[in-house]
Amino acid sequence: MLKSMTGFGRTEEAAGDKTFLVEIKSLNGKQFELNLKLTPLLKPYEFNIRNLLSESLMRGTIECTILLKQNGGSGAITINKEMAKAYFQPLKEVATDLNLELSEYILAAMLRLPDVVVANTEVLSEEQWQQFRQILKNTLGAINQHRLLEGAALEKDLIERINNITAYQEKIAELEPLRQHKMKEEIRRKMEEQLGKENYDTNRLEQEMIYYIEKIDISEEQVRLRNHCEYFLNILKEEDESKGKKLGFVLQEIGREINTTGAKAYDSNIQKLVVLMKDELEKAKEQVLNVL
């Protein structure tokens, strides 16, 4: 089964006295590209988190946001009360000596003084990290399930596109004998118009026609095209999770045989079928861009 690069997962769970919200969005991309927005509490584990995301999602443009929604009443900053008192006492003495009243804005000014407001140095315990790790894995499981659902729709569409190409190819095979006959008759007619019916060597004409028809023969292209289409459908059945690039390469080969068929056809009916095949091919290429 195919897996799409498009998906979404969201989990909100507690790890001890903390509640984490994890959201992961994924879109198509040539490689693994990660935009990680992380709560400061998890900064020491950023490398581990990136590895988990890379190993599970493999490829795509990923946006991952991890927020700390609850922290047991403690905040991201701490007021150093002792330092605040140390600043306040001299200010109070100066105000008393000068017979001044302390302004109501003195607290706001004190908070801007060095070392009064300090960052919270709280870190996760090993148990809390393992709990969060499981929360992240749960979110990855959700987004991968979404990717599988999207992949099932992609697979259905791709099978339809390849089957349509094969159906048009069968119609070309039906037209091929008539095409060769028409070419022979057209060459003979032009020779008769130019030289007269009795003024050319019919044996030599037959030899030239055989050479000409071999030059524009499309049987080899049709055999290769059929083989490429079968190979494409077989890849879809493989167990490998990541096969978008391989499918893309096979579509390139399919396109090469379709183009060569069109270049050598010299038949309006076959050219129309080639155009229809190209249309199906372009739709398949657009879909493969989303395959993991």
Convert the pLDDT of each residue in 108-123 to its tens digit. 776 677 666 655 556 7
Q: Are 218 and 264 in contact, with CB atoms under 8 Å apart?
A: yes
What distance in Å separates the CA atoms of residue 134 and residue 194, rounded to the nearest whole number?
84
pLDDT at 279 over 60: yes
Nearest residue to 28 (alpha-carbon basis) of 69, 61, 58, 1: 61
| Other C-beta atoms lying within 10 Å of the C-beta of residue 258 | 23
Contacts with 60 (C-beta within 8 Å, 6 or more apart), sequence order: 5, 6, 26, 27, 28, 29, 32, 33, 292
Burial of 147 (0-12, 13-18, 19+ CB in 10 A): buried
Could you tell me the pLDDT band of residue 36, with boundaries at 50, 70 and 90? very high
What distance in Å separates the CA atoms of residue 291 and residue 250, rounded to the nearest whole number?
14
Q: Among residues of the chain, what percentage have pLDDT more than 70? A: 78
Return the domain boundaries, the chain: 7-72+124-148, 77-119, 149-288
Q: Are 246 and 288 in contact, with CB atoms under 8 Å apart?
A: no
Nearest residue to 45 (alpha-carbon basis) of 22, 69, 11, 25: 22
| Other C-beta atoms lying within 10 Å of the C-beta of residue 283 | 15
pLDDT digits (tens, 9 = 90+) for 184-224: 666 666 666 666 666 666 666 666 666 666 677 788 888 99
pLDDT at 167: 94
pLDDT at 127: 87
- DSSP letters for the chain: ---BS-EEEEEEEEETTEEEEEEEEEE--SSEEEEEEE-GGGGGGHHHHHHHHHHHH-SEEEEEEEEEEEETT--SEEE-HHHHHHHHHHHHHHHHHTT-PPPTTHHHHHHTSTTTEEE------HHHHHHHHHHHHHHHHHHHHHHHHHHHHHHHHHHHHHHHHHHHHHHHHHHHHHHHHHHHHHHHHHHHHHH-TTSS-HHHHHHHHHHHHHHT--HHHHHHHHHHHHHHHHHHHS--S--HHHHHHHHHHHHHHHHHHHHHH--HHHHHHHHHHHHHHHHHHHHHTTB-
pLDDT at 105 over 70: no
pTM higher than 0.85, yes or no? no
pLDDT at 240: 85
What distance in Å separates the CA atoms of residue 96 and residue 91, rounded to the nearest whole number?
9
* 244 token code pair: 């978008």
Q: Give the CATH number of domain 7-72+124-148.
A: 3.30.230
